[in-house]
Amino acid sequence: MHPSFKKVQMLESDNFITELNQPLNMATDPPFHQAYKSLIEDTSNNIFGKKLVLVEECELPLIDLSRILHNDNVVDESEREECKEEIARASQQWGFFQVTNHGISKDLLEKMREEQVKVFKQPFDKKSKEDKFMNFPAGSYRWGTPTATCLNQLSWSEAFHIPMADISASATAFTTLSSTLEQFATTVAGLARKLTAILAEKLGRESTFFQENCLPSTCYLRMNRYPPCPVPSAIHGLMPHTDSDFLTILHQDEVGGLQLVKDGKWIAVKPNPEALIVNIGDLFQAWSNDVYKSVEHRVVTNPSTERFSIAYFFCPSYDTVIQNSEPSNYRKFSFREFRLQVQEDVQKYGHKVGLPRFLISH
């Protein structure tokens, strides 16, 4: 079905600084205003008058996975193949797609959301000491953008970035969260393995690559919260980027805010409470020699409503080498080398450069 579009209007504020300096919920929200006061003041005399920004809203390709997840004879082989073709086609044309009948129960998704809200509603001072707070490793709790030198580089959000290996050992004070995270991660990891095997098959490549290199210990979850932002058209919830993994699986709430680039323009993803969102990462684009697309995406903020999401990142070990058969568009590189290059570019330029660093000039 061809995606349907509609216009979504966003109107910038007349009085940027006045709105931006409205107090947040200081008990739970990160101190964005204090930390980025200089960036806000630098922008006060800039071109932030009334400006209408039109962003199209779309429904991503929607794929029913019941045709490949059933292990009985209910689904015939032609339907399985059709489903695989849809997955590969969406990965080539969009880099994003939605899946239903994905094997993760509605009850588990609702429980995950409840536990996530509980954690983020804890006082900021407590969250920022996450090693004592939930036994998460140091650095798990992140907020804002420490390297930001302008508002365009600032992300108005907070997150818990949790390596899969640390989930079962975490959250002694939040045992329900720990068990829910573990259940969610185990289930979504199985889905990631299934989808990557299909995408590898459609390339004529060995799907055992992912079994050997993308282990539970190398993947991670990220719980996200996007607090209300006084001027949503001026500050991102999450700045534009591509994902530095093979595959990302996202569950978002009904608030919306995810946007991606399609045919050279930004479009907004219409929330679907029944679906999970899947997107191709940089490593898969390189491994597929640009057959599958890692697409730039961002999260926009909301002036009055907080947004929650949880993402699973399907990553290899640092020593995994990304390469494909000749003629290749990319030189051979390890995941460690890729990550270090991204970190270096972010420190130097304030944003990720990514795959262009590894292109071969033909």
How far is it, in rounded angstroms, from Cα 287 to Cα 325? 9
- For residue 246, report the phi and psi dihedrals to the nearest 5 degrees: -90, -45
CA end-to-end distance (rounded Å), the chain: 38
How far is it, in rounded angstroms, from Cα 52 to Cα 12? 7
Answer whether residue 59 is part of any domain.
yes
Instruction: Tell me if 4 sits within 8 A of 58, measured CB to CB.
Output: yes
Answer whether residue 344 is part of any domain.
no
- How many other C-beta atoms can be found within 10 angstroms of the C-beta atom of residue 211? 12
pLDDT tens, position by position, for the chain (362 residues)? 444 444 443 444 444 555 555 555 657 899 988 888 888 777 553 534 435 466 888 889 999 999 988 765 566 889 999 999 999 999 999 999 999 999 999 999 999 999 999 999 989 988 887 555 667 777 889 999 888 888 888 899 999 998 887 776 554 445 788 889 889 999 999 999 999 999 999 999 877 899 899 988 899 999 999 999 887 778 899 999 999 999 999 999 999 899 999 999 999 999 998 899 999 999 999 999 999 999 999 999 998 999 999 999 999 999 999 998 778 999 999 999 999 999 999 988 888 999 999 999 75
Answer whether residue 175 is part of any domain.
yes
How far is it, in rounded angstroms, from Cα 338 to Cα 51? 38
Of the candidates 180, 181, 176, the residue with the CA atom closest to the CA atom of residue 165: 181
What is the three-class DSSP state of 61? coil
Supply the CATH number for residue 320's domain.
2.60.120.330
What is the three-class DSSP state of 279? strand
- Domain residue limits at 62: 5-330
Answer whether residue 255 is part of any domain.
yes
Write out the catalytic residue numbers. 307
Instruction: Tell me if 13 sits within 8 A of 19, measured CB to CB.
Output: yes
How many structural domains compose the chain? Answer: 1
Beta bridge partners of 330: 359
Q: Report the residue count for the chain.
A: 362
Answer whether residue 362 is part of any domain.
no
Answer whether residue 340 is part of any domain.
no
Of the candidates 216, 307, 295, the residue with the CA atom closest to the CA atom of residue 253: 307
pTM as predicted:
0.90
The β-bridge relationship of strands 220-226 and 158-163 is antiparallel
Q: For residue 218, what is the DSSP state? A: G
pLDDT at 13: 45
pLDDT at 1: 43
Cα 61 to Cα 58, 77, 191, 198: the distances in Å are 9, 22, 18, 17
Q: For residue 15, what is the DSSP state? A: S
pLDDT at 168: 60
pLDDT at 332: 95
Answer whether residue 24 is part of any domain.
yes
Using only C-alpha atoms, what is the Rg of the chain? 21
Answer whether residue 105 is part of any domain.
yes
Residue 146, token pair as written in the block: 């420490």
